[in-house]
Structure 1
Amino acid sequence: MDSKTLPKHSVHIVEEKSSVEPAHDLYNPDIDISGIDETKLIRKVDWRLVPWFSLLYLLSFLDRTSIGNAKLYNLEGDLKISDNQYLISLTVFFISYAIFEVPSNIFLKRMRPSVWFAFLMVMWGLIMTLQGVAHNFGGLVGLRWMLGTFEAGLYPGMAYHLSCWYRRSELGIRTALFTSATTLSGAFGGLLAAAISNMDGVGGRPAWAWIFILEGLATILVGIASFWVVQDFPDTAKFLSETERTIMIRRLQGDDQFSAAGEKLRMRNVLESFRDWKTWFGMVQLMGCDMPLYAFSLFLPSIINQVWFRATPANLLTVPIYAFAATVTCLVALYADKHGRRGYCNIIMLSIGGIGYIILIVSRNAALSYFAVFVATCGIFPVVPNTVTWVANNFEGSYKRGVSLAMAISMGNLNGAVSSNVYRARDKPWYRLGHSLVFMYICIGIIANSVFLYLLKNENARRDRGERDEVIGSEALEDNGNGRYATVEDAKREKGDNWSGYRYIL
């Protein structure tokens, strides 16, 4: 067969027998899927996955950042800790969080997500509750370390899990919806802390203790329910019929997710993540938006409190900020999904967020600073899920994608340790140092996203020109240095996103 008759994404050196996909590579080839409405099926999957994941992540982010709300109700005074000790208690969370993300994603793939997520939530809910009975600095630090250990697996696990259900052009809005729980947790956390503060003195416990206890108990209950509510992978999902499962797998395979029907754990799959340059760029990209995210979430109540208001009004005034951030996050995700321009969206939104922080740095007016916080959210909240989606979009191989996602997210979260130490009490009320360092991280994000976008465009162009084409077919054909495979399907399975027909999302 002449190479000019092949599709644009196929190799140029190929025998006729390999130009037709073999029947055995079609998932459940004997099942007729013509009677199923695919749009209704996707809506069915959406309702089973996204709302519950949103609830889980809301609780996760609420539990890790509620210490910022508790601080306003004399946490430091009651535990007799200094501002530096408080910052240390924030820092240790992110260290353990970053360490355990990659192992957790490997466990998730080996185990049922319903079991793994339920276990993690019950354990960190218990730790959260115990924070309410901490009585000194050592106890608080130890509990924060354990909280990070068990929370580590949830976000990278859910991001990876969703990537196993949806096409690459569908993933952004789903990731944004459940990640927007961070914005809702900020709004809800402020309202909840204000309400719980009325329990000050009940049972001999101060208001800050009840914030930890009640939120921790809620997490335990939701974690137990997750054993039955969380859905596993599409090839085993019990809420789908065999025909529906077949549609879900075939549509993923048609989107160049060749491992959708299943993949065995091989150490090579894990090592490929460490060797892939995209993994390391993903780590820098998430570093550029996660540090600002945590700095913003942990210290927003304190910033508003120090500039303008008392504790409860400060918590309440965070609500419209987070509601605005949630709206922008979803709008950006919809645009990026529709147009496939994730890198461009990141660069634009980070630039807008940078303007917000420039205003915060120079402002000495409370109203102007409050306005600047709204602008700053544009460079933080929409960028995090869009970056996670962009990373997931550009890896093929279920284990490789899971490990690369976890590595990128762990690096981003490790920089949360930095965010815990940049808003010092002696810098109040304007926190110029903290705002300047967040602005620096946003600039790092702009540079990393720009370079990553440039490199992906270059690699796609090389593949379009045929520079990455493999040799397919007979041993008699000369090896061109890109690998020799019996069929195109073999090349897909062995090379994953390095296959010449795979195109990166920009």
Structure 2
Amino acid sequence: MGFDGMASRAPYMSMMLRLTIARPEQLTPQDDKIEGHFDAQSADLPQLRNTTERKLMAKIDWHIMPCLCVMYLLAFLDRVNISNAAVLGLQEDLNMVDGTNYNTALTIFFVPYVIFEIPSNILLKKLRPHVWLTGCMFLFGLVTICQGLVSNWGGLMTTRWFLGMFETGMFPGCFYLLGMWYKRSEAQKRFSFFFSSTTLAGAFGGLLASGLGKMDGIRGYRGWRWVFIIEGLITCVVSLAWFFIIPDFPEEVKWLTNEERQFIRAKLARDSGSAGHDAKIGWRDALEVFKDYKIFIGGLMYFGQVVTAYGYAYFAPTIIKSYGYDAIKTQLYSIPPWAAAWGFSMLVAILSDKTRHRFAFTIVPMLIAMAGFGILLNVHGQARRNVQYGALFMVTCGCYSAMPVIVCWFAMNLAGHRRRSVGTAWQVGFGNIGGIISTYAFLKKDAPEYRPGYIISVSFLSFSAACCIGYFSAVWYDNWRRDQAIADGMAIPSDEEQELLGDMALNYRYSY
């Protein structure tokens, strides 16, 4: 069964571009401001004679979702397994006990990760997804293995740099690819299911590390080295298989019939405009995207979330260990909060789909996370560690359910290959600057209460919530302004102009 049902798509108009003449009565003003779309611009969809739309979407789901989820699970696991290695002796063996060497090793990952986001998405389109994504996957798996072989802090820094460089295309690339297969009313469940790979990676990583930690001393390697070596090896093996499995764009895959391909293409064109896979992306096109101020708000929404999410992902084992558990129990106790976050994020996605709404499902989860951090700020001591541990559930459930809604909401409000490719890469690239801040949020000198880290987390969650309010206001105003322009008789763009304008077209409506 596929993931049917969901959100919407949307947009805003460039007043500088010349539009073709059309009578205003050609466009029916939208009745449902929650569903974004191109209003009354497309003919009926082609008929499916040999299948149904539900069966077709299930077919697409089975070809796309498992591949991308496993890929991103392994990417996130290889990114944050250093937190599991840290409680198994990495810092002591590499002489990083004092100072901020460990935090700097976390930080260096984000430098290339941020720099290469947009170039990576441009290369994704030029090289085809199955080539680019699996190539990156094999390389960051290889680098992860090398992390298990380093002998000093300099070696760790070098491997973390290359890990960030090779992982840079995974998250925006996968989100971009999903956006090229699903219309917005189908997207949120899929996006949340994909994003939940991060929570599953956290749970799986803790479980795997608890077992690999018991390999301490085998062949002369410490347990933390086996964490990197085994998990990196798994990634490399999967990448070789995924090269033959990962789908490209709807126009290119061979497992769709011509009838199915035409149906998907027409459906996406009606939802987001007709700018398709053949649209070329150059640097001038990329810069043109940034003339829309909402692009910057999208990056800021994600930025605030990233500080909190990576702060937890990198330091959860360290925080849990401060409650008095040994290394193996720490790994096991790290699993339940991640598992709860997976379930809650899927619940939020279903409710967001059911109500066809996005804004409230970013704010409410963030309030839950803030409440969790409030408890952690005020409850201390091992005698009350059960309360502190319970607060971690609130933090993970809140943070990791709001993030996929924010990314989906923004990405699916961008129409066409050009704007979605550049916009999603920008949001994730700029947002991950927050990862640099997160790596210095929880310092050893602040243990065991970690008050500065919790204060930083609450502050950036509040910032993200404020940006979500700003984005909601911006898209609501743009929708209202377009309705007024159409009512005043302003011309509607032709199909060719829609390809250039994307979600900036007059007859496009943003979702909120």
State the TM-score, normalizing by the size of structure 1.
Answer: 0.91
**What amino acid is the match of 1:429?**
P
- In structure 1, what is the Cα distance between the partners aligned to 2:294 and 2:487? 17
- In structure 1, what is the Cα distance between the partners aligned to 2:413 and 2:488? 18
Task: Tell me if structure 1 keeps the 8 A contact 2:136–2:167.
Answer: yes
Change (3 A) 1:284 1:402: same
- In structure 2, what is the Cα distance between the partners aligned to 1:468 and 1:410? 39
- In structure 2, what is the Cα distance between the partners aligned to 1:470 and 1:53? 45
Query: Is residue 369 of structure 2 the alignment partner of residue 353 of structure 1?
Result: yes
Task: Tell me if structure 2 keeps the 8 A contact 1:273–1:404.
Answer: yes
Match of residue 288 from structure 2 = 272
Task: Tell me if structure 1 keeps the 8 A contact 2:74–2:201.
Answer: yes
Match of residue 147 from structure 2 = 131
Task: Tell me if structure 1 keeps the 8 A contact 2:24–2:490.
Answer: no
Matches within 5 A, 1:155-194: 155-194=171-210
How far residue 454 of structure 1 moved from its aligned partner, in angstroms, is: 1.0
How far residue 366 of structure 1 moved from its aligned partner, in angstroms, is: 1.0
Residue-by-residue CA offset, 1:448-495 (whole Å, 9 max, x unaligned): 0011101111111111112697854xxxxxxxxxxxx8x632332232
- Residue 331 of structure 2: which of 315, 322, 325 is its match? 315
Match of residue 157 from structure 2 = 141
- In structure 2, what is the Cα distance between the partners aligned to 1:2 and 1:227? 47
Task: Tell me if structure 1 keeps the 8 A contact 2:275–2:498.
Answer: no
Change (3 A) 1:152 1:468: farther
- Residue 310 of structure 2: which of 283, 288, 294 is its match? 294
Match of residue 385 from structure 1 = 404
Residue-by-residue CA offset, 1:212-256 (whole Å, 9 max, x unaligned): 000111110111111101000001111111111111111111212
Task: Tell me if structure 2 keeps the 8 A contact 1:9–1:502.
Answer: no
Change (3 A) 1:446 1:249: same
- Residue 77 of structure 1: which of 92, 115, 131 is its match? 92
Query: Is residue 480 of structure 2 the alignment partner of residue 464 of structure 1?
Result: no
- Residue 41 of structure 1: which of 38, 42, 56 is its match? 56
- In structure 1, what is the Cα distance between the partners aligned to 2:70 and 2:249? 19
- Residue 7 of structure 1: which of 14, 24, 27 is its match? 27
- In structure 1, what is the Cα distance between the partners aligned to 2:475 and 2:140? 38
How far residue 208 of structure 1 moved from its aligned partner, in angstroms, is: 0.6
Matches within 5 A, 1:2-401: 3=23, 5-9=25-29, 33-81=48-96, 82-260=98-276, 262-364=278-380, 365-401=384-420
How far residue 2 of structure 1 moved from its aligned partner, in angstroms, is: 9.9
Task: Tell me if structure 2 keeps the 8 A contact 1:76–1:83.
Answer: no
**What amino acid is the match of 1:60?**
A
Quote the sequence identity (%).
35
- In structure 2, what is the Cα distance between the partners aligned to 1:237 and 1:419? 40
Moved more, 383-392 or 330-339: 330-339
**Secondary structure of the structure 2 residue equivalent to 1:238:** coil
Task: Tell me if structure 1 keeps the 8 A contact 2:148–2:226.
Answer: yes
Residue-by-residue CA offset, 1:429-459 (whole Å, 9 max, x unaligned): 1111101101111000110001110111111
Task: Tell me if structure 2 keeps the 8 A contact 1:470–1:500.
Answer: no
Kindly tell me the number of residue pairs found equivalent between the two proteins.
480
How far residue 265 of structure 1 moved from its aligned partner, in angstroms, is: 2.4
**What amino acid is the match of 1:427?**
D
Task: Tell me if structure 1 keeps the 8 A contact 2:192–2:346.
Answer: yes
**What amino acid is the match of 2:252?**
T
- In structure 1, what is the Cα distance between the partners aligned to 2:307 and 2:189? 22
Task: Tell me if structure 2 keeps the 8 A contact 1:307–1:430.
Answer: no
Task: Tell me if structure 2 keeps the 8 A contact 1:50–1:178.
Answer: yes
Query: Is residue 509 of structure 2 the alignment partner of residue 494 of structure 1?
Result: no
Change (3 A) 1:387 1:228: same
- In structure 2, what is the Cα distance between the partners aligned to 1:394 and 1:443? 23
* Greater relative contact order (Cα < 8 A, sep 6+): 2
- In structure 2, what is the Cα distance between the partners aligned to 1:469 and 1:201? 76
How far residue 312 of structure 1 moved from its aligned partner, in angstroms, is: 0.9
Change (3 A) 1:73 1:20: closer
Match of residue 34 from structure 2 = none
Task: Tell me if structure 2 keeps the 8 A contact 1:269–1:397.
Answer: no
Task: Tell me if structure 1 keeps the 8 A contact 2:215–2:223.
Answer: yes
Change (3 A) 1:469 1:103: farther
- In structure 1, what is the Cα distance between the partners aligned to 2:152 and 2:359? 45
Task: Tell me if structure 2 keeps the 8 A contact 1:468–1:500.
Answer: no
Structure 2 spans left out of the alignment, 5+ residues: 1-20, 31-38
How far residue 334 of structure 1 moved from its aligned partner, in angstroms, is: 1.7
Task: Tell me if structure 1 keeps the 8 A contact 2:352–2:358.
Answer: yes
- In structure 2, what is the Cα distance between the partners aligned to 1:500 and 1:269? 20
Change (3 A) 1:371 1:21: closer
- In structure 2, what is the Cα distance between the partners aligned to 1:398 and 1:62? 29
Change (3 A) 1:424 1:391: same
- Residue 412 of structure 1: which of 428, 431, 447 is its match? 431
- In structure 2, what is the Cα distance between the partners aligned to 1:468 and 1:159? 35
- In structure 1, what is the Cα distance between the partners aligned to 2:494 and 2:488? 11
Residue-by-residue CA offset, 1:380-414 (whole Å, 9 max, x unaligned): 10111111101112111212111111111112212
Change (3 A) 1:278 1:20: closer
Structure 1 spans left out of the alignment, 5+ residues: 11-18, 473-484
How far residue 34 of structure 1 moved from its aligned partner, in angstroms, is: 3.4
- In structure 1, what is the Cα distance between the partners aligned to 2:42 and 2:119? 36
- In structure 2, what is the Cα distance between the partners aligned to 1:349 and 1:394? 21
- In structure 1, what is the Cα distance between the partners aligned to 2:157 and 2:489? 54
Q: CA RMSD in A?
A: 2.1
**Secondary structure of the structure 1 residue equivalent to 2:28:** coil
**Secondary structure of the structure 1 residue equivalent to 2:243:** helix
